[in-house]
Amino acid sequence: MAKFELKLPKMGESVAEATITSWLKEVGDTIEMDEPVLEIATDKVDSEVPSEVDGKLVEKLFEEDEVVKVGQTIAIIETEGEMDGEDEDEVEEETSAVAKEVEETVEAAKATASGEDTPGENYSDSSRFYSPLVRNIAKEEGISLGELEKIEGTGKEGRVTKNDILGYVKNRGSQPQESQASKAKSIDTKKLESGVSSQPEPVVSGEDEIIEMSRMGKMIAHHMVDSVQKSAHVQSFIEVDVTNIWNWRNKHKADFQKKEGEKLTFTPIFMEAVAKAIRDFPMINISVNEDATKVIKKKNINLGMAAALPDGNLIVPVIKNADRLNLVGMAKAVNDLANRARQNKLKPDDIQGGTYTVTNVGTFGSIMGTPIINQPQVGILALGAIRKMPAVIETPDGDFIGIRYKMILSHSYDHRVVNGALGGQFVQRVAQYLESFDKDREI
């Protein structure tokens, strides 16, 4: 029998590691080629890792909630076929090396965990290993190190898994009232001592439904709060007449789909205008380093496009080098990313490297919005709903009132590095490109 090492595959540029969320196969299970063996999660995308061979799972080198680096061996699969003595020695050496690498990874995680924990509770003070996911849940739920130490772990070598800590949180409310009150008082005292104001917990009645936030929902909440705390948000608004675009699309959408096999929506037209405006104002296409002392001017214009997932959450896939695409190419990119987002088939690389983001709040009927900046970017544009509006139309023969299709663009930008002039001029240039759209344009 031969042994095959299943490694964590490369998942895209800048993705170096992933957290194992669940094993779909157990030791002893038969596995077919391309059959999913486990599920992993990066910052925003959940993925499955399939087997590259037929065989039987004989060893799992990582437990759930543990972080694995790209290229590391995560499981051993036994396959049909014989190996000579030399091959067996080689497999034994490789397996030993993998075990050593796992041990080193765990030790490194212990050594660096102190940098990931909040000043209020340093979980690295324990001699027990806690995965980053377990530590994050503990921090979110206000679980002290003393409490965490008392949780009985069901993982490898008694480690606390995600299910262990979630089970503890669920049963936490059934503890004696005196203990809970004492614990709350202790937490409030710590908050007061650290200068953080105490916020009362919401009152839950017997008729209320408690819904656990999804993993992605928690991450989105964290990112939103982090962005508001980090960037000085300022907004500029401008009304745009898109009558020419409305009429042009209605005239050509059927032929476009017949010719290109793609739907022609308004989004690629708007994204094209945004890309052109960024080329005119490259200081919108920047990011700020962690300590806000340097500005990084981006060479490529990579437009993030907020898209809805089946569970209602939003994700931001990225159109790379958007300024190099013609309208047909932009339409294909927009449709591809939107479709794969709806089907939960986005890859980690699809959401990496964005330099500016566009979100369409008009999809939900909103005439405008004040979106939160997608860090580490410095700007985000919200597209409002297109509406029929009475408007003053200027002609050589005088002004008159007519019906026009109009929308509002809302530009949120980071006032630390983007002043009001730049923020206003940029969104004004987007409006100018949209209003000057050639109604005789050929596809």
Give the whole-angstrom CA distance, residue 413 versus residue 419: 9
- Which positions ≥6 away from 58 have C-beta within 8 Å? 3, 27, 28, 76, 77, 78
d(CA 352, CA 256): 30
- Is 415 considered catalytic here? yes
Total residue count of the chain as it appears in this document: 443
- Rounded to the nearest 10 degrees, the angle between the axes of helix 243-260 and helix 327-342 is 80
Q: Is the preceding omega at residue 376 within 30 degrees of 0, hence cis?
A: yes
According to DSSP, residue 377 is labeled B
Residue 136: half-sphere exposure toward Cβ, Cα within 13 Å: 11
Cβ–Cβ < 8 Å for 91, 83:
yes
Q: Estimate the crossing angle of helix 162-172 against helix 132-141, to 10 degrees.
A: 10
Residues with Cβ < 8 Å from 277, sequence gap 6 or more?
284, 426, 429, 430, 433
Report the C-alpha gap between 89 and 303 in whole angstroms. 51
- In three-state secondary structure terms, 119 is coil
Question: 82 in helix, strand or coil?
Answer: coil
CB neighbours of residue 418 within 10 Å: 24
Spot the catalytic one: 223, 233, 252, 415. Answer: 415
Rounded Cα distance between 395 and 184, Å, is: 70
First-to-last C-alpha distance (Å) of the chain: 60
Beta bridge partners of 60: 75
- Number of other residues whose CB lies within 10 A of the CB of residue 329: 15
Q: Write down the number of H helices and E strands in the chain.
A: 10, 19
Q: How far apart are CA 3 and CA 98, in angstroms?
A: 13
Distance CA 414, CA 346 (A): 28
Gap between the Cα atoms of 434 and 412, Å rounded: 19
The residues annotated as belonging to the active site are 415
